Amino acid sequence: METVLRGQSFAVEISGVDLSRDLSNAEFDDIKRIWLEHKIAVFRGQEIGDNALVAFTERFGPLFVHFRSQFNDQTRPEIMLISNIKEDGRNLGELGDGDLMWHSDQAYSELPVFSTLLYGIEVPNEGGGTWFCDTAGAYAALPEAMKQRIAGLRQSFSVEKTVTTQNITLSEEQRQMKPPVQHPLVRTHPLLGRKSLYLSPAHTAGINGVDAAEGDALLGELLEWATQPEFLYHHDWRVGDLVMWDNTSTMHSRDAFSPTERRMLKRTGFEFTPEQAVPV
């Protein structure tokens, strides 16, 4: 197993490992440690069936099943299809071909998902890349005065925003399942104690106790800070790539791609225990 850093401070590519086979405990523990430290792990050239993908995901923690179930795999609901491909006029997956705003997955949930894994089945020749931002590195580098200013602040997140920011449709029942929630602006990793900016512009509905204009200005300032080049990694997808990230310490966005191109990714995720999952 070899590792190469892909971002300036985070995002590591791990090579020499075949995720389709049973990993030894020692190999698995190495992967988990390296991933936790670097927040994003990239594996290339993988050939993983659905069962192996789910088994690898589940080894880290309880499987996540997306509440917007219309694009979950029929036989394996732990796998969600992310795709712009249509067959017989019907979308095979979710999220289309447009760009997607910065977000941390399921920040609008009371207990947001710990990690998301994306596995590339078909990828466009151009576009459709994923940007990752190291929000823990961005927090650590903040001026002390800003750290003090934002300490203790809480923000509201709403799934409603995704209808416009992520081009998503929600049924009335799905809306009812996800009422607005409040989470801290600075989040502490429950396993590592590492602090990060908990930013998810695609879901943010404002900072509590701060007027809207001031809250928006502060969030805008933090977003600009966090998205400086030293905190970013851009992933150009190839078939067989598997990328996994820690939603507590990163956020991501997507480049648009041409509707004439085909893109199909399989998504899984795993959760914290319920006690660890409450952002603090």
Size of the site for Fe ion (CB under 5 A): 1
Between residues 142 and 198, which has the closer beta carbon with respect to Fe ion? Answer: 198
CB of 249 to Fe ion, least distance (A): 14
CB of 274 to Fe ion, least distance (A): 22
CB of 115 to Fe ion, least distance (A): 11
What is the 8-class DSSP label of residue 229? G
- Cα separation, 64 vs 118, whole angstroms: 13
Strand partners, 3: 14
Residues 257, 121 contacting (CB under 8 angstroms): no
Nearest to 266 by CA among 125, 3, 56, 29: 56
Between residues 78 and 105, which has the closer beta carbon with respect to Fe ion? Answer: 105
Between residues 94 and 105, which has the closer beta carbon with respect to Fe ion? Answer: 105
Task: Annotate each residue in 99-128 with x if it binds Fe ion (CB under 5 A) or - if it does not, as one string.
Answer: ------x-----------------------
Name the residue type at position 186.
V
CB of 247 to Fe ion, least distance (A): 8
Query: Quick one: CA dihedral 174, 94, 235, 32, positive or negative?
Result: positive
Structure tokens belonging to residue 147: 């750290």
CB of 142 to Fe ion, least distance (A): 24
Between residues 150 and 248, which has the closer beta carbon with respect to Fe ion? Answer: 248
Residues 17, 10 contacting (CB under 8 angstroms): no
CB of 197 to Fe ion, least distance (A): 17
Between residues 60 and 132, which has the closer beta carbon with respect to Fe ion? Answer: 132
Structure tokens belonging to residue 196: 């990060």
- Position closest to Fe ion via CB: 105
Is 13 one of the binding residues for Fe ion (CB under 5 A)?
Answer: no
Per CB under 5 A, which of residues 46..105 are in contact with Fe ion? Answer: 105
Between residues 131 and 225, which has the closer beta carbon with respect to Fe ion? Answer: 131
CB of 252 to Fe ion, least distance (A): 6
Nearest to 47 by CA among 9, 17, 24, 67: 17
Please state the separation of Cα 70 from the chain's center in Å. 19
Between residues 11 and 150, which has the closer beta carbon with respect to Fe ion? Answer: 11
- Cα separation, 96 vs 112, whole angstroms: 23
- Cα separation, 6 vs 129, whole angstroms: 15
- How many other CB atoms sit within 10 Å of the CB of residue 280? 10
Q: Which residues lie near Fe ion (CB under 5 A)?
A: 105
